[in-house]
Each structure stands twice: as structure tokens, then as C-alpha cells.
């Protein structure tokens, strides 16, 4: 092996090591950023009024959670969770026909009909 080949091999090894260290630093930085939903999961927030109380305003709650402002305003007075509940970080709304079944946001109409047995 010539000196030139050896130097080239060492440069490639150093570049690879720096790339690995850069990726490791990115992974550490990503893991250090607290996940919003996991952070608030520990607090057991189960209703929109509690979310609004935690964040202060409807606009701040909307920005932090990603929920629509109209949805937040619709359920902001439902303090006893008679029409909605937040379970496993999902908003569940009460259906009109059943006192037990809650529907997830994004469930299609056909799937809801199957759940309700219609």
C-alpha cells in the first residue's frame, strides 16, 4: 500500500466517522426535544376545557394541539365531558344514537354505521 492510498483511506475513514457522529448528534437532539402529546399524556387531560385552561386561550390551544378552533369552541363549555372526551390523545365525540359509542375523528361514515349496527 502506498502512502497516497493510505492517506486516502484515512481521510475516508475520518469522513465516515464524522458523518456517524453528526447523525448521532442529530438523533440526540431529536430525542431531547419533548414530544408535546407524551408530555401532556402524563397530566391526564381528558377534556377541552382543561386544555384551554392549561394553554390560556383558544388560539394558543389550537396552535399547540392542532385541533380546529371551531371544534375547540364547540366543546369549551362541556366541562362534565357529556359530549366529548380526550382518550389516548384522540378527541372522541359522543354520537346522538348511543350513550356508549364514541367515534374517532377521521372514521368514515360507513365504519360508523357498522359500529352502530345500522
Residues 76-104 pLDDT 10s: 888 888 888 887 778 888 766 554 444 45
Helix or strand (DSSP H, E) at 45? none
Q: pLDDT (tens digit, 9 = 90+) per residue, 2-39?
A: 777 766 666 666 666 556 665 566 666 555 445 555 55
- Do 25 and 81 reside in the same domain of the chain? no
pTM beyond 0.85: the answer is no
- Do 101 and 91 reside in the same domain of the chain? yes
- Do 60 and 2 reside in the same domain of the chain? no
User: How many folded domains does the chain comprise?
Assistant: 2
- For residue 101, the enclosing domain spans 35-116
- Which pLDDT score, from 0 to 100, does residue 118 have? 61
CB-based contact 93:83 (threshold 8 Å):
yes
Secondary structure (3-state) at 67? coil
- Do 6 and 43 reside in the same domain of the chain? no
Mean pLDDT for 53-62 is 88
DSSP state of 35: P
- Do 58 and 104 reside in the same domain of the chain? yes
- Do 43 and 99 reside in the same domain of the chain? yes
CA geometry: angle at 52 spanning 92 and 58, to 5°? 100
- Which pLDDT score, from 0 to 100, does residue 65 have? 82
Amino acid at each position: 500500500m502506498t502512502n497516497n492510498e493510505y492517506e486516502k483511506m484515512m481521510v475516508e475513514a475520518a469522513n465516515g466517522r464524522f458523518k456517524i457522529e453528526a447523525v448521532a448528534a442529530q438523533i440526540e437532539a431529536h430525542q431531547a426535544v419533548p414530544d408535546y402529546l407524551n408530555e401532556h399524556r402524563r397530566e391526564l387531560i381528558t377534556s377541552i376545557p382543561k386544555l384551554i385552561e392549561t394553554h390560556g386561550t383558544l388560539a394558543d390551544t389550537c396552535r399547540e394541539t392542532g385541533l380546529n378552533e371551531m371544534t375547540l369552541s364547540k366543546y369549551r363549555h362541556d366541562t362534565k365531558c357529556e359530549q366529548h372526551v380526550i382518550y389516548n390523545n384522540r378527541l372522541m365525540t359522543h354520537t346522538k344514537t348511543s350513550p356508549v359509542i364514541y367515534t374517532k375523528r377521521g372514521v368514515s361514515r360507513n365504519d360508523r354505521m357498522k359500529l352502530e349496527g345500522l
